[in-house]
Structure 1
């Protein structure tokens, strides 16, 4: 399955309307290049560095922006994963939605591991660690940014059959080692593809590093962006995935009876 990774922003979005216009253009380009899935970065619709104003721009999961994106997906016959702030009553979640190429809702995910004081002050963490959907025969899982840095979260997806893990991201300096080093290892040790789609450039107090990538189950990066706005397109090969899983014994050689201590909240000293 050919997958598009939209690294942005292409100029800091001043409004959700501008983000939607950029998404329309990217969806058309990705579809023309044969993509069936297009993935955006974390908080794509509104920008990340919003402070307390995040509640003012947040929308319900099925709000106007989501309906507009459903139209984009259907017009270009391409599935879309978009990051956004989700309003749920008086709570705001850092969320991502997978919309199918016919405009239908395939999956909704809320970030479970919040990073830093800012996120913990404005977002409520999600409580569903495993969200999946199937597109064109590929089992897709969703995480957001910091989530993928927890090996337990990714391993849970591997054990549940996720073949392509999609990760909208807002990774800032000085954490370049995450896309450069950690992501290929995560893909290899779990026998899956990981599409890691980052923001880029300065925004508020942050400087996002870019470096979006599609890492394969053999630990090889199929495509990697630079530091600026870019639309990558690369293939998810299920034949390679199956062969790699047959050759890599990590999942079959596990001994879960030894891992009970992993459920502990913290390590005893």
Structure 2
């Protein structure tokens, strides 16, 4: 296990439907995060396209090219890059987080919980599995935006060995209180790091407040983004995480034989 790594939550205003403009923003921000020592970079949800529902099937055609460019960038900068984009597969369209580790695509996670109040479930298919994967930045779990409201999913990521959970999001105003509270709770109750990246700026009728967060297993806010484009960067100390797990032995004290299957 690494003693620790530096991580960046990269937030910027997504330009709806303009893949190349968003790629340019992401590339510049990732390179800037690299200069600040980041080995792990997490981009927002649907960062390449935004939620341009009518054009998503067409915009998804660019995803393989964008993914290949991110993979090359991750190799050149010796980084792990995570972020979600629209993905086409066998006639369905998914909100998929791609994980690139130093030039290799090492995993994909398809969003499990689709946000029905904004009709996400009408335009996208949901995934059918969680993801925890070993990378050069540690064992990463991945969740996307609305997944944050489902604690049982995060407990499974913890049970599967996640040390860091990456959360790309487009979390709109005015739900800042939920954003901060749930991120902190998921990190504390599962004793892992959480790198949560939100978009910022205006996208159609929606306003996004940024405030990307990196939270420790102890619930400390290690880095916070403001409301503008930025890279919130912090050191993730795995040795401290392991010390805290011994200090508060919640995993040892669990009673799964009592809880049973949670439906």
Shorter-normalised TM range = over 0.9
How much has 1:122 moved relative to structure 2?
Answer: 0.6
- Matched residue, 1:65: 66
- Matched residue, 2:77: 76
SS at match of 1:262: coil
Q: 1:35 aligns with which of 25, 35, 38?
A: 38
Q: Is the 8 A contact 2:17 2:55 kept in 1?
A: no
State how far apart, in whole Å, the 2-side matches of 1:259 and 1:96 are.
Answer: 31
Gaps of 5+ in 2: none
State how far apart, in whole Å, the 2-side matches of 1:53 and 1:218 are.
Answer: 42
How much has 1:179 moved relative to structure 2?
Answer: 2.8
- Matched residue, 2:226: 226
- Matched residue, 1:267: none
- Matched residue, 1:244: 244
Q: Is the 8 A contact 2:132 2:161 kept in 1?
A: no
1:20–1:137 Cα change, 3 Å: closer
State how far apart, in whole Å, the 1-side matches of 2:137 and 2:11 are.
Answer: 25
State how far apart, in whole Å, the 2-side matches of 1:136 and 1:237 are.
Answer: 14
Aligned residues: 258
State how far apart, in whole Å, the 2-side matches of 1:261 and 1:39 are.
Answer: 32
State how far apart, in whole Å, the 2-side matches of 1:178 and 1:97 are.
Answer: 26
Measured on the aligned residues, the alpha-carbon RMSD in Å equals: 1.6
- 2:12 is equivalent to residue 8 of structure 1: yes
TM-score (norm. length: structure 1): 0.91
State how 1:82-231 maps to structure 2 within 5 Å. 82-101=83-102, 103-116=103-116, 117-129=118-130, 131-136=131-136, 138-231=138-231
1:93–1:138 Cα change, 3 Å: same
TM-score (norm. length: structure 2): 0.93
State how far apart, in whole Å, the 2-side matches of 1:5 and 1:25 are.
Answer: 14
1:199–1:191 Cα change, 3 Å: same
1:114-165, Cα deviation, whole Å (9 max, x unpaired): 1124211111000012x12222361111110111221100100111110000
- Matched residue, 2:47: 44
Q: Is the 8 A contact 2:191 2:217 kept in 1?
A: yes
